[in-house]
C-alpha cells in the first residue's frame, strides 16, 4: 500500500481511531490543523523559534504532509513555503491546497518536490523546518545540504520528531513495532551520529540535540507528568521485583540504592530513551554561527 492508501484504510478501522487522531491524519483537514496548532508540541516549537530565530518571517516546511505545521505557521503570520513529494488530497500537496483555499491563506506557497532537490536559489529562508520528514530522506546528506543551502546566513534549521536507532537490532525492533510499517513499508531511521554529521557537514552549527525525553516535541502526546510517573513506576517496579527476589531486607539502606545504581548503570536511567523503540529526536542548528 502507498502511504495515502494506508491512511485511507486505517481511518476506517476502529482500532486505529486514536492513532489517526493523535497523528492529525483525520478526514477533517481543518480540525487536524486546529488540534496541532493548539498542541503543546506547537507551543514548544514556537518557543524554540522565538529563542533561536526571533526576527524570522519566512519558513520552508519540508515534507509537510497534510499541512498541519505549514498552515499553523501561516496562521501564526509567517510567510510559508511547502515542499512535499506526495501530491494526494489525503496526505500531500492536494490536502494543503484545499486548506489554503478554504482558509484563504495568501502567505502559503506549495511546491511538489523532494528535500534533496529544492527548487530555490541560495540563502532565501529564515527557517527550514521538517517534522517527521528528515528520516524519510533517500539521501540524508543531500537533504541537509539543500536545507543549509537555502537558509539565510544565521538562519535556523529545526528538524523535529525524527526516528533514531542505535544499531541493527534496534532498527529491527523499531520496524517490527512501528504500527503502520506492515502496511506501507516506508519507515526509516538513522543513528544520532548520522544526523549530527550530516548537519555539521552542511556547515551548520548544532545548538541543541533534543533527545526523546528532553522535549515534549518528541514525546507528545505523552505528557511531562506521565514521563515523571513512568520513571516513578519503573523505580517502584524495580523495588518490588528486588524485594520479591531477595526478601524485604533489601529495602534497607544501602542495599536497594546499590542495586538501583547497578541497574541504572547497566540499563540506563529510568527514563532512558533506549527503552523506546524508534524514539524520536529533534535538532536545532544555525547556519554559520558558533
Q: What is the rounded distance in angstroms from the CA atom of residue 71 to the CA atom of residue 82?
A: 10
Q: Which is nearer to ligand SAM, 138 or 224 (CB)?
A: 138
Contact 259, 179 (CB under 8 A): no
Q: What is the rounded distance in angstroms from the CA atom of residue 182 to the CA atom of residue 167?
A: 21
Helix (H) or strand (E) holding 207: strand 204-210
The reply on whether position 138 binds ligand SAM by CB under 6 A is yes
Q: Which is nearer to ligand SAM, 88 or 242 (CB)?
A: 88
The reply on whether position 171 binds ligand SAM by CB under 6 A is no
Q: Which is nearer to ligand SAM, 114 or 190 (CB)?
A: 114
Helix (H) or strand (E) holding 194: helix 192-201
* Minimum separation from the CB atom of position 63 to ligand SAM (A): 3
> Among 74, 96, 131, 162, which residue interacts with ligand SAM (rule: CB under 6 A)?
131
> Among 4, 41, 44, 84, which residue interacts with ligand SAM (rule: CB under 6 A)?
84
Contact string (CB under 6 A) for ligand SAM, positions 30-59, x = contact: ------------------------------
Between β-strands 108-111 and 204-210, what pairing exists: parallel, antiparallel or unpaired?
A: unpaired
The reply on whether position 94 binds ligand SAM by CB under 6 A is no
Contact 200, 206 (CB under 8 A): yes
User: For residue 96, which of 77, 117, 115, 75 has the smallest C-alpha distance?
Assistant: 75
Backbone angles phi, psi at 287, to 5 degrees: -85, 105
Report the DSSP beta bridge partners of residue 280: 163
The reply on whether position 108 binds ligand SAM by CB under 6 A is no
* Minimum separation from the CB atom of position 132 to ligand SAM (A): 4
The reply on whether position 65 binds ligand SAM by CB under 6 A is yes
> Among 62, 99, 157, 164, which residue interacts with ligand SAM (rule: CB under 6 A)?
62
Residue with cell 555539521: 200
Q: Which is nearer to ligand SAM, 119 or 153 (CB)?
A: 119
Number of residues that bind ligand SAM (CB under 6 A): 20
Report the DSSP beta bridge partners of residue 79: 58
Greatest alpha-carbon pair distance for the chain in Å reads 69
> Among 7, 39, 58, 63, which residue interacts with ligand SAM (rule: CB under 6 A)?
63
Site residues for ligand SAM, window 197-236 (CB under 6 A)?
Answer: none
Q: What is the rounded distance in angstroms from the CA atom of residue 86 to the CA atom of residue 93?
A: 6
Binding site residues, ligand SAM, CB under 6 A: 62-65, 68-69, 83-86, 91, 114-116, 131-133, 136-138
Amino acid at each position: 500500500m502507498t502511504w495515502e492508501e494506508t491512511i485511507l484504510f486505517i481511518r476506517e478501522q476502529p482500532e486505529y481511531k486514536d492513532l489517526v487522531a493523535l497523528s492529525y491524519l483525520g478526514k477533517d483537514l481543518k480540525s487536524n490543523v486546529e488540534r496541532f496548532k493548539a498542541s503543546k508540541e506547537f507551543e514548544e516549537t514556537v518557543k524554540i523559534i522565538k529563542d533561536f530565530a526571533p526576527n524570522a518571517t519566512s519558513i520552508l516546511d519540508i515534507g509537510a504532509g497534510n499541512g498541519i505545521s505549514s498552515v499553523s505557521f501561516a496562521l501564526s503570520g509567517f510567510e510559508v513555503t511547502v515542499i512535499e513529494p506526495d501530491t494526494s488530497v489525503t496526505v500531500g500537496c492536494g490536502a494543503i491546497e484545499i486548506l489554503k483555499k478554504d482558509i484563504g491563506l495568501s502567505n502559503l506557497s506549495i511546491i511538489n518536490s523532494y528535500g534533496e532537490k529544492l527548487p530555490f536559489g541560495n540563502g532565501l529562508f529564515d527557517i527550514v523546518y521538517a517534522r517527521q520528514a528528515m528520516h524519510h530522506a533517500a539521501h540524508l546528506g543531500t537533504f541537509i545540504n539543500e536545507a543549509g543551502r537555502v537558509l539565510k546566513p544565521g538562519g535556523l534549521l529545526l528538524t523535529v520528531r525524527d526516528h533514531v536507532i542505535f544499531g541493527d537490532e534496534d532498527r529491527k525492533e523499531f520496524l517490527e513495532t512501528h504500527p503502520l510499517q506492515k502496511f506501507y513499508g516506508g519507515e526509516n531511521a538513522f543513528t544520532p551520529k548520522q544526523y549530527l554529521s550530516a548537519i555539521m557537514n552542511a556547515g551548520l552549527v548544532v545548538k541543541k540535540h533534543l533527545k526523546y525525553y528532553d522535549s515534549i516535541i518528541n514525546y507528545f502526546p505523552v505528557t511531562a507528568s506521565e514521563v515523571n510517573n513512568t520513571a516513578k513506576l519503573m523505580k517502584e517496579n524495580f523495588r518490588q521485583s528486588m524485594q520479591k527476589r531477595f526478601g524485604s531486607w533489601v529495602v534497607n539502606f544501602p542495599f536497594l540504592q546499590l542495586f538501583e545504581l547497578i541497574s541504572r548503570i547497566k540499563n540506563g536511567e529510568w527514563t532512558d530513551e533506549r527503552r523506546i523503540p524508534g524514539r524520536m529526536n529533534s535538532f536545532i542548528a544555525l547556519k554559520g554561527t558558533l
